[in-house]
Structure 1
Amino acid sequence: MKKILLSAALIVCSASAFAANHEVKMLNNGKDGSMVFEPGYLKAEIGDTVTFKPTHKGHWVQSRALPEGVDKFLSKEDEEFTLTLNKEGLYVYICPPHRMMNMSGIIQVGNAVNKEAAQKEVDKLEKRATENKGRLAEYMEQVQ
């Protein structure tokens, strides 16, 4: 019994040792324009983490579309926020005060199992954007 428990513990530790930590910056200006997450599209694996870094003041992150079973998230203004990616699918998020400027992004974890629901949210966000139109749609086009 001890050997089985030890083996299970080693497997869990080994899996977490291979998990990556990705960084997404919240910027006033970046390579994709003004009020932007960088990178705006991120491909990750189950078990990875993403740390959102408010490089400039006045930004935070909020979920808009998530894989089934993932709790909604909302960070605090001007504070780093780390999200553990425990479920496969698409994670669509925004910066609430800059939503109209299309400050939004997508994380793909494994297969895009919730692509239809995520696409509906992307379409809503794009329709309401007054600036940077098409940016989130371009990120969605990168989903495989």
Structure 2
Amino acid sequence: MRNSTRAIAGLLMAGAMLGGPALAAEHEVRMLDRGEAGMMVFEPSLLRIAPGDSLRFRASNPGHNAESIPAMAPEGAPLFKGRMNEEITVTFDRPGIYGIQCKPHYGMGMVGLVVVGEGEAARANLEQARAASHPTRARERFQRMFQGLGD
């Protein structure tokens, strides 16, 4: 009995070291007409996740989508684009900073920021993401999110 417990513990430890999919988490982001931060928001709008984690974007109110902002994605990261009113799940495997937008409400500031990983790897494209051009309300919301990073 004792040997089998050790064997199971060893397998779990090996899986943790390899970062297998069993350890990945799924987080939910709601697309809302009105949330705690105001009108037309992703909630939460700023997330820190581990590589391999997934985000499920749920259209809590109709008329929204979730898609990447190409100028705010790490080099070589796959981009995504959900259809209107579509609930999509996106897995983030590459460390870095990702900008997210609701295309029809981008000009109203419906944006989000996802930080994947920790340390230097997570900040590899920080300056590129900060330098991206946005409509006024989106730019203001991103500025607050970048301040929330504490970098």
Query: TM-score normalised by the shorter chain: which range applies?
Result: 0.7 to 0.9
Q: Distance in 2 between matches of 1:51 and 1:132?
A: 21
Identity of aligned residues (%): 34
Which of the pair is proportionally richer in helix?
A: 2
CA RMSD of aligned residues (A): 1.9
Q: Which has the larger radius of gyration?
A: 2
* CA displacement 1:58-94 (0-9 Å, x = unmatched): 0001211211111221101101111101000001011
1:11 aligns with 2:15: yes
Mark the CA change 1:114 to 1:14 in structure 2 (over 3 Å): closer, same or farther.
Answer: closer
Ranges in structure 2 where 5+ consecutive residues have no aligned partner: 1-10
Q: Distance in 1 between matches of 2:76 and 2:139?
A: 30
User: What is aligned with 1:30?
Assistant: 35
1:70 aligns with 2:85: no
Ranges in structure 1 where 5+ consecutive residues have no aligned partner: 1-6
User: What is aligned with 1:139?
Assistant: 145
Q: Distance in 2 between matches of 1:21 and 1:117?
A: 27
* SS at 1:57 equivalent: coil
* CA displacement 1:4-61 (0-9 Å, x = unmatched): xxx8xx7388721111101000000000000000000000000100010010000001
* SS at 2:144 equivalent: helix
Aligned residue identity for 1:56: N
Q: Give matches, 1:1-144, under 5 Å.
A: 11=15, 15-64=20-69, 65-110=72-117, 111-121=122-132, 124-125=133-134, 128-129=135-136, 131=137, 134-143=140-149, 144=151
Mark the CA change 1:132 to 1:92 in structure 2 (over 3 Å): closer, same or farther.
Answer: closer
Task: Give the deviation of 1:140 after TM superposition.
Answer: 1.4
